A = this chain, B = another copy of it.
Amino acid sequence: MVTSEEIRAEFTKIGNRLVAEHLIGGNFGNMSIQQDEGFFITRTGSFLDDPGEPVYVPISGEVPPSASSEWRVHRTVYQNTRHRTVVHAHPPYAVAASLILDEVIPLDSEGKMFCPIIPIAHGEPGTQELADDIAECLALAPLCIAQGHGTFAAGKTLEEGYLFTSLGEHACRVLSLTQSFQR
């Protein structure tokens, strides 16, 4: 049994890494951990390195107004996949790649090994359409990019969600930088 206190500590630890690696800026991004018949999610408008009290969202039914406004994606992922955590960030190279490419095919060896195809999900932020597409992507891959919006990574632990986020941005950055060595 995990307490809300322990989840807050875990959110803070992972949030600090996401901020320090510039994977999120400002108060953008959110994360959640599945628990019982629902999940704990970061508060709406919170800074991930100082996330405050986690908010519990049941797997169906009413959602507390203090929950991150992207609760719909998290819930849909838990309803349709076996993932236990979701991490959403706004890494700039991944967002830029998602606006131009149909899918990201990493060239670096970690990307090739852990996420050989990073799919792009479509739909307006906040809509069920986007949530459905993300859940569909995450049923097959640990990471996808909502077009023009940001990454959604899933896993067994928050750490795993963070690692896939970091790995995805690294893959997109390497892809982008290769351009500058082509003479």
Contacts and interface: CB of A to CB of B under 8 A. Distances in A.
Given A93-B177, A109-B146, 20 more contacts: A21-B25, A25-B169, A26-B162, A26-B166, A90-B108, A92-B174, A95-B108, A96-B173, A97-B177, A97-B181, A99-B174, A100-B182, A101-B181, A107-B148, A109-B148, A109-B149, A110-B149, A176-B177, A176-B181, A179-B180
Would you list the 3 A-B pairs with minimal beta carbon distance, nearest first? A96-B177, A26-B166, A100-B181
Nearest to A181: B100
A180 B21 contact: no
Nearest to A179: B180
A167 B109 CA distance: 22
Given A109-B148, A148-B107, A163-B26, A174 B95 contact: yes
- Decide if the interface of chain A is mainly helix, strand, loop or mixed: helix
Contacts of A182: 100
A26 B96 contact: no
A165 to B, nearest CB: 8
B97 A163 contact: no
Contact of A21 (B22, B101, B163, B170): B22
Nearest to A100: B181
Contacts of A79: none
Interface string A86-118: 000010110111011100000111101100000
Nearest to A130: B109
A178 interface: yes
Interface string A57-101: 000000000000000000000000000000000101101110111
